[in-house]
Amino acid sequence: MITASQKPINEIIGLVEPYKKVLILGCGTCVKTCFAGGEDEVAVLASALRLSFKKMARSVQIEEMTIERQCENEFIQEASESIKRNDAILSLACGAGVQALAKRFVKDVVLPGVNTTFIGIQERPGIFTEECSGCGNCGLATFGGVCPVTRCAKKLLNGPCGGSQKGVCEIHPDTPCAWHLIIERLTTLGQLDSLRTYIPPKNWNTSLSGGPRKLVREDHIL
């Protein structure tokens, strides 16, 4: 999933302040799972904004809505009536969702209510970890399903740096050493030998370093 965290409320107030009617639009998929932009977060933010504007003696109408996915036109459509009757949309989806709205509603103001952070998982309730950097050329098969591109602080591809202690990365006691995990996992799988293969320097052209990427599926284009 894409993880995100809500922007500080005062930053959000600053963003929506110029408008009289604001739609807070949640997304019911990734950002809901990480407690940043689902139905519940929309309701809490709407309530906080109402209280805040009342305190400032400002009359701002806040409408609340959450759609299943803000990155798909099919779902975005459901919000078009609400978008029409408001002056601005405060989207609680990830950056992809915000831009999908902006592309579709060219004349409407779309504001981001969250900071999009990374591709990750919920490791345990309330704790999310980064697992993939979307490098465009996945090597998880070699690394026993643990990504050193993302989870090794130095992005090393040919073994650990020598700074890890008791399975912990030297950058932070909270960070497991990715290479420790890779070796443990390959040992369990009986595939430790796969580490004998030299991994050449990574070609970052397939990553964001090569500029904005596009995924084309010819068989789905009409």
- Residue least distant from ligand SF4 (Cβ): 97
Amino acid at 90: L
Residue listed under structure tokens 């409407």: 108
Secondary structure (DSSP) of 97-124? HHHHHHHH-TTSEEEE-EEEEEEEEEEE
What's the longest Cα–Cα distance across the chain?
69
Nearest distance, CB of residue 46 and ligand SF4, angstroms: 18
Question: Residue 55 or 172: which CB sits closer to other proteins?
Answer: 55
Question: Residue 48 or 109: which CB sits closer to other proteins?
Answer: 48
- Rounded-to-integer distance, Cα 191 and Cα 142, Å: 9
> Could you say whether residue 133 binds ligand SF4 (CB under 6 A)?
yes
- Footprint of ligand SF4 on 46-65 (CB under 6 A): none
> Could you say whether residue 44 binds ligand SF4 (CB under 6 A)?
no
Give the strand pairing for 21-27 and 61-67.
parallel
Q: Look at residue 54 and give the partner it binds from other proteins, ligand SF4, none, a contact being a CB closer than 5 to 8 Å depending on partner kind.
A: other proteins
Nearest distance, CB of residue 40 and ligand SF4, angstroms: 15
> Could you say whether residue 25 binds ligand SF4 (CB under 6 A)?
no
- Footprint of ligand SF4 on 156-215 (CB under 6 A): none
Question: Residue 40 or 68: which CB sits closer to other proteins?
Answer: 40
Residue 208's nearest CA partner among 118, 127, 76, 106 is 118
Residue listed under structure tokens 């609680």: 92
Q: Is 66:25 a contact under the CB 8 Å cutoff?
A: yes
Nearest distance, CB of residue 198 and ligand SF4, angstroms: 17
Using CA atoms, how far residue 11 sits from 16, 68, 101, 133, 145, in Å, is: 9, 26, 21, 27, 39
- Rounded-to-integer distance, Cα 39 and Cα 73, Å: 19
Nearest distance, CB of residue 25 and ligand SF4, angstroms: 10
15: helix, strand or coil? helix
Q: Look at residue 171 and give the partner it binds from other proteins, ligand SF4, none, a contact being a CB closer than 5 to 8 Å depending on partner kind.
A: none
Q: Look at residue 208 and give the partner it binds from other proteins, ligand SF4, none, a contact being a CB closer than 5 to 8 Å depending on partner kind.
A: none
> Could you say whether residue 34 binds ligand SF4 (CB under 6 A)?
no
> Could you say whether residue 69 binds ligand SF4 (CB under 6 A)?
yes
**Residue ranges that bind ligand SF4, judged by CB under 6 A:** 2, 27, 29-31, 69-71, 93-94, 96-97, 132-135, 138-140, 147, 149-150
